[in-house]
Structure 1
């Protein structure tokens, strides 16, 4: 603006119009301003060729330019941010996540970055977490307010109730003490899905099944408290015991179900990953995880087999050919990465590239300027990719505590003549073990492995 005033005789108002025209980049306006600038400069004795060149320089700088004070300020902020991340990473991530507490996509990026930095982020817990992100014992406590659809104000109420009356003893104590107008049924169910009640009631599936019962009980207690006409036993251990007897008997979710529900509540996988139980099988099939691929790609390797759960897909049309290509975001146990599927590959793989599906894929990696980009060539269901990776599973059972019916239910519908075998192992007196091979063969994918691991009485599961 000062250049236009001094060199071409612009008034302050005219200089501001020039600034706006340069910002909008409208051709007609710019041509008018160029003519005005050159004529004004000629009146001050500046040749048209020279003033035209100066106008072009100003126009180019306006496209993306910083004055020195602006650049210096950004440099200082960048240095301070880098210093904080390097020297106080736990506090840095807690503060960054607090700033974007309502943005699930940003929280997911910070969570993955924190994992790479070795910063532990604790899952939300009604007896430990604050409404906002916090730091405790060198760890980030995930904010209750960072859970989807619960409301920051409602979670501030939960924290205040805990501060005044101490930690919640169990789920019945929780619904008795919180205001049901603040923590309604939807918020209660979302907290359960996110695992926020795990420390006082680890069976998330049972909480979802009993949500109506528990919320209704809380409303009754709250109504009595408000009217100061509570019955002799209202909100006491007598009521608790009666409520416990009404709680539906519900099997815990399998790991896959648990993570799916957690994903819906939090927006990303927080306590685990659907591919955790398949990592060894994937490695046997020479499939790499993101953390393994990055250094190999930076060293010059290009072709990889990878695996992941589809998180997002964005299709676009090529400006030249009109054909569709897609940017697909995948998640594996070590992080998230984006893959570009060109038109031909997208046509082959489109049905598999839907959010929530687990796939194995062939990619080409290109490392440049410290960044690794991926290009997809082909993909297939991850279960097919790891088929026959192991001959079978050995399931170790705790003596006298295994529930065979629960094991049977977890194996319903997974018989597969080309699958693997399952052997049950249980300790008996004298330090001996008894093995029993189940009849038939089974599909041994990640879902089956996870389901067996969480069956009552199962100590651990190992590959044959």
Structure 2
């Protein structure tokens, strides 16, 4: 929000926001923004401060500013200034009181009035909470600028990189996929014809094995594919075998072609089931039918691996040349089955979502889980809808049952704490895959946001 109001015009603005967006200095942000947009508001408590604060429109921004003010306006030596820095870092009241007396006395001795000396101390005091030094702010600011540039100009490539960096953290992956959806980037299940090991940018009208041209932007990409090694129960060795074979001889034309060309002995029943359930073989058939024929598929693979089309299977038996596999009829997998398999093997839903039928209802609500986590403060009330993804029952010291649950919507997830009274009234709703709405109170503890449930009902 502050960055939108600021509308940065150079790297110094970004560095300043990095430094000021912290407990204590944060109260200076509105003034920084006002002065940037209206230079006539810029003023200095003392003319000697202009050399120090000119870059930040007269607002004390960095820990360095405090040290230079102490040196220039209070007559501190660099050693004394470093002692002040350490005192601010430790935040010990008695030490800060002694530093205040010494600093204010120095200001007065060097020409400031008592009133201005006290005013200057009041501007410095917030940095005792958490002042940021300029070198750190510049480093973080540069990274922020670079990543923002990449996200704005090469969104698919950037988001694929973020997904790869967060591989293994299912909750983070879910939130990033939701962000991709908001950005208009399609995230697709893995594919034996398009996926590499990690998350892969899919280029429109080009072979997936060709190198990525980093000059290309959004319109040149059709989406991001999950990587083959992101599939649970699927070995890295088999994934490499698939990728190398695809590079060697091109895309797999059919299920039969895939089975004939992949000779890896680790392509067993478990790994084949993982490929089918995750959607990696979708272009070759329907998941339910392939799963019902898994033994037939496995046998065909063993008998034909490495055999060119037309080669003899069992010459001694007088059998004919290799033909494509024929699958027996079977019921198609239901949408709920597909979603459950994706959740099991990829950690989240991709081809759809159990909340899809409630999408319009949830979109019409004032709050979603992402906004609750980012915007609401301790004790505020919120109403959110979502699906229960996890439910962990415990027993209180008084012997009563309660539960810690995870609730997720299209924007992210949040922990829900359900105390005995509410749990006893609604225990049937706190089971995985149940879609519910919760009214509760926000709690911030150890840097985590949770929702204390007070009222619960099923979504309908």
TM-score, normalised via structure 1 length: 0.56
Equivalent residue, structure 2, for 1:172: 256
Alpha-carbon contact 2:313-2:320 (below 8 Å) kept: no
Q: CA deviation at 1:162?
A: 1.6
Seen in structure 2, the aligned counterparts of structure 1 residues 343 and 353 have a Cα distance that, compared at 3 Å, is same
Alpha-carbon contact 2:381-2:442 (below 8 Å) kept: no
Equivalent residue, structure 2, for 1:60: 90
Equivalent in 423, 428, 438 of residue 362 of structure 1: 438
Q: Structure 1: how far apart are the matches of 2:175 and 2:182? A: 11
Q: CA deviation at 1:71?
A: 2.9
Alpha-carbon contact 2:304-2:322 (below 8 Å) kept: no
Equivalent residue, structure 2, for 1:155: 239
Equivalent residue, structure 2, for 1:222: 305
104-113 vs 192-201, which deviates more? 104-113
1:142 aligns with 2:223: no
Deviations 1:173-221 (A, max 9, x none): 11111124132211110111111111121x1011111111111221122
Equivalent in 270, 273, 277 of residue 193 of structure 1: 277
1:119 aligns with 2:185: yes
Alpha-carbon contact 1:303-1:362 (below 8 Å) kept: no
What secondary structure does 2:156 align onto? helix
Equivalent in 325, 330, 333 of residue 250 of structure 1: 330
Seen in structure 2, the aligned counterparts of structure 1 residues 69 and 324 have a Cα distance that, compared at 3 Å, is farther
Q: Structure 1: how far apart are the matches of 2:406 and 2:314? A: 56
RMSD: 4.6
Equivalent residue, structure 2, for 1:207: 290
Alpha-carbon contact 1:290-1:337 (below 8 Å) kept: no
List runs of 5+ in structure 1 lacking aligned partners: 1-52, 387-464
Q: How does 1:181-330 map to 2 (within 5 A)?
A: 181-201=265-285, 203-222=286-305, 231=314, 238-241=321-324, 243-244=325-326, 247-279=327-359, 282=361, 290=368, 306-314=384-392, 326-330=403-407
Seen in structure 2, the aligned counterparts of structure 1 residues 179 and 333 have a Cα distance that, compared at 3 Å, is same
Alpha-carbon contact 1:289-1:332 (below 8 Å) kept: no
1:345 aligns with 2:422: yes
Q: Structure 2: how far apart are the matches of 1:174 and 1:249? A: 21
Alpha-carbon contact 2:259-2:305 (below 8 Å) kept: no
Q: Structure 1: how far apart are the matches of 2:133 and 2:382? A: 45
Alpha-carbon contact 1:180-1:215 (below 8 Å) kept: no
Q: CA deviation at 1:313?
A: 3.1
Q: CA deviation at 1:331?
A: 2.8
Seen in structure 2, the aligned counterparts of structure 1 residues 198 and 255 have a Cα distance that, compared at 3 Å, is same
Alpha-carbon contact 1:191-1:265 (below 8 Å) kept: no
Q: Structure 2: how far apart are the matches of 1:61 and 1:233? A: 87
1:101 aligns with 2:167: yes
Equivalent residue, structure 2, for 1:13: none
Q: CA deviation at 1:150?
A: 0.7
Equivalent in 116, 121, 130 of residue 196 of structure 2: 130
Equivalent residue, structure 2, for 1:403: none
Seen in structure 2, the aligned counterparts of structure 1 residues 65 and 336 have a Cα distance that, compared at 3 Å, is closer
What secondary structure does 2:240 align onto? helix
What secondary structure does 1:240 align onto? coil
Equivalent in 53, 71, 93 of residue 136 of structure 2: 71
What secondary structure does 2:277 align onto? helix
What secondary structure does 2:386 align onto? strand
Equivalent in 331, 356, 360 of residue 408 of structure 2: 331
Q: Specify which structure has the higher proportion of strand.
A: 1
Equivalent residue, structure 2, for 1:444: none
Aligned length: 317
Deviations 1:319-358 (A, max 9, x none): 9x897654422233454344333442233333421223x2
TM-score, normalised via structure 2 length: 0.57
Seen in structure 2, the aligned counterparts of structure 1 residues 233 and 183 have a Cα distance that, compared at 3 Å, is farther
Q: CA deviation at 1:89?
A: 2.6
Q: CA deviation at 1:293?
A: 7.6
